[in-house]
């Protein structure tokens, strides 16, 4: 471990998230260099009457990281500890960003089975909110967790393994925890042999993609599409595992597709939408005219993740997969009927059911519908109206993306809600790791309720 050159706790500067819309000034910022130092920070916080909030790379849109207590940042606990290519089991420190983890795995001939759109999150931060990619047969990231070490409110560190007793139950809860059980310091992950993906990106009629979503999701390893409000053309992305050699886009083409269109073009259209929100239909349709067919083959982590430079805010709902077409059509009709000033596309994905109590795919095959809004523009009325649609489809909000739910509205949507609350009672009964967000979405700490 690198020797510390700066004190690991300090007066905290103002913190803000990636989107720049959540801010806080913690009493103390702790960046421990060891698990032991972390447990001392936690013990001191408890003695001083502060709460403790772990933070990753701040890519959540909700106030999940906001605290006036002690903010714990694990940037100095961010190494790959061990990787066994024969079993695929790897041990990683919790603060490691996904892009570094994926590069390190690749050197060992390994990869994550599935990934989301970006790779800037820390592994623990991504897991804590149930981060997912797409793939009807693949589960979200948290399903790969087979063990972890977690620093608890009582100053101890507990090792959780996937056995059939209490430890296994606590591990299931810790896989998607919102940081509400303790600070995870290390994770054991089941990875897969490194693989390549061939990705075909192409404009197609929106109605074909809505009507054919289930067939497309079944036919491809990783399928998703972007629906552009007010437009009849959508952008389809189909990625499949292949033994073909890497064939990335030529540099000039990559610049056009990934930089010029996906970032600079999106920024320009978003600015136009901001200046003239009533022109959103024309702007959105103009955007679809720039879409083109592109095919690339590369190592999986280079295909899954892309760069997102345009700042936006987002709401995403997980719904029973069979309802995706109906729900999406309702969202598109809402936008058109109310002529909402939005030009950002709506993202549609799918994952398989899993068994983490707070996973948004817990116990059911899932489709995801994500709506976005350019950062300077008003989002709340739009997101609330979309949320009302998702409520009718038994929707579960992404824990890291904006929503307006409370513990009372969420509890009936999670069959294993009580299993998570039991883990909370066991590991953090007095709510040392509870902030306002956790209180809103999971309820007060168990001891307070008792």
- Looking at residues 389 to 408 of the shown chain, list those that interact with ligand FAD (rule: CB under 6 A): 398, 400
Least gap, CB of 116 to ligand FAD (angstroms): 3
Q: Smallest Cα–Cα separation from 365: which of 188, 172, 202, 214?
A: 214
- ∠ CA 61-400-143, rounded to 5°: 150
State how far the alpha carbon of 163 is from the alpha carbons of 83, 151, 168, 170, in Å. Answer: 21, 19, 5, 10
User: Do 182 and 153 meet the contact criterion of CB atoms below 8 Å apart?
Assistant: yes
Single out the residue of 22, 39, 51, 64 in contact with ligand FAD (rule: CB under 6 A).
Answer: 64
Residue 151 or residue 327: which is nearer to ligand FAD going by CB? Answer: 151
The DSSP line for 19-88 is: TS--EE--SEEE--SSHHHHHHHHHHHHHHT--EEEE-SS--SSSTT--SSEEEE-TTS--EEEEETTTT
Residue 289 or residue 404: which is nearer to ligand FAD going by CB? Answer: 404
Residue 230 or residue 400: which is nearer to ligand FAD going by CB? Answer: 400
Least gap, CB of 86 to ligand FAD (angstroms): 28
Distance (Å, whole) CA 439 – CA 149: 24
The DSSP line for 132-157 is: ---BTT---GGGGEEEEEEE-TTS-E
Distance (Å, whole) CA 70 – CA 51: 6
Least gap, CB of 105 to ligand FAD (angstroms): 17
Distance (Å, whole) CA 290 – CA 286: 7
Residue 79 or residue 282: which is nearer to ligand FAD going by CB? Answer: 79
Residue 70 or residue 184: which is nearer to ligand FAD going by CB? Answer: 184
Single out the residue of 66, 178, 189, 352 in contact with ligand FAD (rule: CB under 6 A).
Answer: 178
Distance (Å, whole) CA 119 – CA 283: 29
Residue 178 or residue 324: which is nearer to ligand FAD going by CB? Answer: 178
Q: What is the dihedral of CA 150, 156, 162, 163, to 10 degrees?
A: -170
- Looking at residues 230 to 289 of the shown chain, list those that interact with ligand FAD (rule: CB under 6 A): none
User: Do 148 and 362 meet the contact criterion of CB atoms below 8 Å apart?
Assistant: no
Longest dimension (CA), the chain: 62
Binding of residue 18 to ligand FAD (CB under 6 A): yes
Residue 230 or residue 328: which is nearer to ligand FAD going by CB? Answer: 328
Residue 230 or residue 270: which is nearer to ligand FAD going by CB? Answer: 270
- Looking at residues 70 to 89 of the shown chain, list those that interact with ligand FAD (rule: CB under 6 A): 74
User: Do 366 and 320 meet the contact criterion of CB atoms below 8 Å apart?
Assistant: yes
- Looking at residues 114 to 133 of the shown chain, list those that interact with ligand FAD (rule: CB under 6 A): 116-118, 121-122, 124-126, 128-129, 131-132
Binding of residue 427 to ligand FAD (CB under 6 A): no
Residue 117 or residue 426: which is nearer to ligand FAD going by CB? Answer: 117
Q: What is the dihedral of CA 203, 208, 212, 218, to 10 degrees?
A: -10
- ∠ CA 118-120-126, rounded to 5°: 85
- Looking at residues 30 to 59 of the shown chain, list those that interact with ligand FAD (rule: CB under 6 A): 53-59
Site string for ligand FAD, 89-118 (x = CB under 6 A): -----x---------------------xxx
Least gap, CB of 181 to ligand FAD (angstroms): 7
Distance (Å, whole) CA 329 – CA 271: 26
Binding of residue 364 to ligand FAD (CB under 6 A): no
Single out the residue of 106, 108, 308, 329 in contact with ligand FAD (rule: CB under 6 A).
Answer: 308
Distance (Å, whole) CA 12 – CA 27: 6
Least gap, CB of 333 to ligand FAD (angstroms): 25
Least gap, CB of 336 to ligand FAD (angstroms): 26
- The site for ligand FAD (CB under 6 A) is made up of 18, 53-60, 64-65, 74, 94, 116-118, 121-122, 124-126, 128-129, 131-132, 177-179, 183-184, 308, 398, 400
């Amino acid at each position: 471990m690198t020797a510390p050159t700066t004190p690991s706790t300090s007066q905290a500067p103002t913190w803000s998230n990636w989107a720049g819309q959540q801010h806080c000034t913690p009493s103390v910022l702790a960046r421990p260099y060891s698990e032991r130092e972390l447990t001392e920070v936690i013990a001191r916080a408890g003695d001083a009457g502060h709460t403790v909030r772990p933070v990753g790379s701040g890519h959540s849109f909700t106030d999940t990281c906001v605290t006036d207590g002690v903010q714990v940042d694990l940037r100095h606990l961010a190494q790959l500890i061990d990787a066994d290519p024969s079993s695929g089991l790897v041990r990683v420190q919790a603060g490691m960003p996904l892009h570094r983890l994926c590069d390190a795995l690749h050197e060992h001939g390994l990869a994550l089975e599935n990934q989301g759109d970006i790779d800037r999150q820390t592994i623990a931060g991504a897991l804590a909110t149930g981060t997912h990619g797409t793939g009807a047969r693949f589960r979200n990231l948290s399903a790969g967790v087979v063990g972890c070490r977690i620093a608890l409110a009582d100053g101890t560190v507990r090792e959780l393994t996937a056995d059939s007793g209490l430890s296994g139950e606590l591990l299931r809860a810790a896989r998607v925890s919102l940081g509400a059980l303790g600070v995870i310091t290390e994770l054991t992950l089941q990875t897969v042999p490194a693989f390549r993906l061939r990705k075909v990106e192409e404009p197609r009629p929106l109605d074909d993609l809505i009507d054919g979503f289930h067939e497309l999701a079944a036919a491809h390893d990783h399928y998703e599409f972007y629906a552009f409000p007010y437009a009849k053309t959508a952008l389809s992305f189909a990625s499949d595992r292949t033994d073909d050699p890497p064939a990335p886009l030529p540099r000039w083409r990559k610049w056009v597709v990934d930089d010029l269109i996906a970032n600079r073009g999106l920024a320009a259209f978003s600015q136009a939408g901001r200046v003239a929100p009533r022109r959103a239909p024309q702007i959105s349709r103009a955007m679809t005219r720039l879409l083109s067919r592109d095919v690339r083959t590369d190592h999986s982590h280079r295909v899954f993740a892309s760069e997102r430079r345009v700042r936006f805010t987002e709401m995403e709902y997980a719904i029973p997969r069979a309802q995706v077409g109906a729900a999406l059509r309702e969202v598109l009709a809402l936008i058109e009927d109310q002529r909402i000033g939005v030009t950002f596309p709506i993202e549609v994905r799918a994952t398989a059911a899993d068994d983490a109590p707070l996973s948004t795919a817990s116990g059911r095959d899932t489709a995801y519908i994500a709506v976005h809004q350019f950062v300077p523009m008003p989002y709340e009325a739009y997101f609330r109206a979309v949320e009302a649609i998702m409520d009718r489809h038994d929707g579960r909000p992404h824990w890291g993306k904006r929503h307006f739910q409370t513990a009372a509205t969420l509890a009936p949507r999670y069959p294993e809600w009580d299993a998570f609350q039991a883990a909370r009672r066991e590991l953090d009964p007095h709510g040392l790791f509870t902030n306002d967000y956790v209180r809103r979405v999971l309820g007060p700490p168990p001891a307070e309720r008792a």
